[in-house]
């Protein structure tokens, strides 16, 4: 149990927070503290009844405990953690901004495609961004297919179609991931391109550690109050002058 708790504490902060929210929401449903009807995405209830929590809970519920829930949670945790510890290492504010961008994109699309829960699409977005930032990594899918990482979202889409799942969810995640990847990684590197997505300063202030101040010491003000020599070398002390006519006891 101690190892499990330590593993939980060792998760990067954004991955730990999102995984905890998904488990907490699902556990609350299982204990019948809340109902899925209070969680799903409904734009009319959000706007007219001000049920603003639906903007978050629709991303945190993967269904009741079972194989589907654990598979989705494992997938989400894995690729969220690899992104946060990989291309977003030391850039927590940028990772949070990607979360907010993806959620906003899917909320806008969710108004028109009538999706009740957006968590699976959000997972596909994470997978897409990770796969495009690791283009040469070889993948093995259930020991059957071997392919490079950028094909992973499309393999998942194909699998969803084969098992009869709603392919719109996967298309939504792929579209959101590609839109973010293009604006963040592709367009700024094009001729006459420029950076469009800029992390707000408030996120940098909240999530990034403050820079460590570097104190520059004036060479003439070093401790000791004497010249430290040229090129930082400490000068050798001068040889002590010995008395010419013997010691102090001479007459």
State the 10-residue block means of pLDDT for the chain, 251 residues long: 81 93 93 92 92 93 84 90 92 94 93 87 94 90 82 89 84 94 92 89 87 56 48 49 48 42
Q: Distance between CA atoms of 123 and 102, rounded to whole angstroms? A: 10
In a domain, 140, yes or no: yes
State the pLDDT at residue 246: 46
In a domain, 70, yes or no: yes
What lies within 8 Å, CB to CB, of 36 at 6+ separation is 29, 61
State the pLDDT at residue 211: 67
Q: Distance between CA atoms of 188 and 195, rounded to whole angstroms? A: 5
Question: Left if phi > 0, otherwise alpha if psi is -120 to 50, otherwise beta: which for 223?
Answer: beta
In a domain, 238, yes or no: no
State the pLDDT at residue 216: 56
In a domain, 167, yes or no: yes
In a domain, 10, yes or no: no
In a domain, 8, yes or no: no
pTM, 2 dp: 0.80
In a domain, 7, yes or no: no
In a domain, 225, yes or no: no
Quote the domain boundaries for residue 112.
62-207
State the pLDDT at residue 159: 85
State the pLDDT at residue 217: 53
> Into how many domains does the chain fold?
1
State the pLDDT at residue 145: 78
């Amino acid at each position: 149990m101690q190892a499990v708790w330590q593993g939980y504490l060792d998760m990067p902060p954004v991955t730990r927070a999102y995984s905890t929210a998904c488990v907490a929401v699902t556990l609350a449903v299982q204990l019948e503290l809340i109902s899925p009807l209070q969680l799903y995405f409904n734009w009319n209830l959000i706007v007219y009844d001000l049920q603003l929590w639906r903007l978050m809970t629709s991303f945190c519920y993967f269904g009741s405990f079972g194989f589907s829930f654990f598979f989705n949670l494992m997938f989400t945790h894995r690729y969220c953690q690899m992104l946060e510890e990989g291309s977003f290492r030391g850039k927590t504010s940028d990772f949070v901004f990607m979360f907010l961008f993806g959620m906003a994109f899917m909320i806008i699309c969710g108004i028109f495609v009538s999706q009740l829960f957006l968590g699976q699409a959000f997972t596909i977005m994470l997978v897409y961004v990770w796969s495009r930032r690791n283009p040469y990594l070889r993948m093995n899918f259930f020991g059957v297919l071997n392919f490079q990482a950028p094909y992973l979202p499309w393999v998942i889409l194909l699998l969803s179609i084969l098992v009869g799942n709603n392919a719109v969810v996967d298309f939504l995640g792929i579209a959101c991931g590609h839109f973010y990847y293009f604006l963040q990684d592709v367009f700024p590197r094009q001729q006459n391109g420029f950076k469009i997505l800029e992390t707000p300063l408030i996120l940098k202030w909240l999530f990034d550690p403050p820079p460590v101040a570097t104190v520059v010491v004036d060479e003439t003000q070093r401790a000791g109050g004497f010249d430290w020599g040229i090129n930082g070398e400490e000068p050798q002390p001068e040889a002590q002058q010995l008395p010419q006519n013997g010691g102090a006891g001479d007459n």
